[in-house]
Amino acid sequence: MEIETHVAEVYTSVKNLPRKLESTNTVTISLYELIKHEAGMVTLLGSDRVRLKPRGGFTSHHLSRLLCDQQVPESQYLGETIARDIKASLDNDHSLREPVFVTVDVNFIRERRLISPPPPPPVLPTPSRGASREVLQRLAKEQRVEPKDLVGKNETQCSICIEDWSNKSHKNIIELPQCLHMFHQHCLFEWLGRQNSCPLCRSTVSFHTIGSRRNRETQRLT
């Protein structure tokens, strides 16, 4: 987005008139309309020159009124600024005597700048709701059911793919540690990649709940 600000720069110089021309105060104002781009390039749009004979003195009110009559933009501001500069010159340089010759350069500058919109907030990755790789590794290592352990079990098939344990295409069977529900490893791990809970009872599968299935079986027997 491009924004434009307007600035008026005023440069005032006060000199004595040549003695043969000492008749009345004279103010010559050169007006320049410029565009200053952000890269530093300056373009001149137009210029004008105004000559004033302020017979009422260098008061800000009188100068502003004369500038307004000439339809000069920012006439009040320019009148106040020029009057202040002339007074400072007369006070500080005692060689100056009225009537004086005043030259003023006024630059009406339009400054154009590009403002970039604020960057969008960072997109944070959505935390995965699936089980971690460490959980899957421990399940495969510690919760695998041996074929001999299927004897006497009520569950005869995987509740995910609805295929019997005897189907040779699914070799490994996993028993979840808390609820003891069993599933084919491939079916279960695909589910746990999306949802970290049992497909049947929705009990959470966490790293700390996994223990050696063989040790638990031994403890139950003892």
Distance of CA 164 to the CA centre of its chain: 57
Highest-confidence segment of 2-6, 11-15, 133-137, 159-163: 11-15
pLDDT given for residue 22 in this prediction: 60
Q: Name the burial class of residue 28, with classes exposed (0-12), middle (13-18) and buried (19+) by CB atoms within 10 angstroms of its CB.
A: middle
For residue 105, what pLDDT band results from cuts at 50, 70 and 90?
very high
Whole-angstrom distance, CA of residue 104 vs CA of residue 94: 20
pLDDT given for residue 221 in this prediction: 46
| pLDDT above 60 for 216 | no
Rounded mean pLDDT, 140-153: 83
Is residue 140 within 8 A of residue 172, CB to CB? The reply is yes
| pLDDT above 90 for 220 | no
| pLDDT above 60 for 117 | yes
Copy the structure tokens of residue 207: 């790293």
Whole-angstrom distance, CA of residue 58 vs CA of residue 11: 16
Parts of the chain belonging to CATH 3.30.40.10: 133-221
Rounded mean pLDDT, 72-79: 94
CB contact burial 33-53 (16+ within 10 A = b; e otherwise):
bbebeeeeeeeeeeeeebebe
pLDDT, greater one: 152 or 217 = 152
Whole-angstrom distance, CA of residue 66 vs CA of residue 52: 7
Q: What is the mean pLDDT of the chain?
A: 85
Rounded mean pLDDT, 70-80: 94
| pLDDT above 70 for 128 | no
Rounded mean pLDDT, 126-151: 82
| pLDDT above 70 for 162 | yes
Identify the weakest region by mean pLDDT among 41-50, 97-106, 149-158, 175-184.
149-158
| pLDDT above 80 for 59 | yes
For residue 28, what pLDDT band results from cuts at 50, 70 and 90?
very high
* Second CATH level (architecture) for the domain 133-221: 2-Layer Sandwich (3.30)
In Å, how far are 109, 154, 212 from 218, measured between CA atoms? Answer: 90, 20, 10
Whole-angstrom distance, CA of residue 75 vs CA of residue 57: 16
pTM: 0.50
| pLDDT above 90 for 210 | no
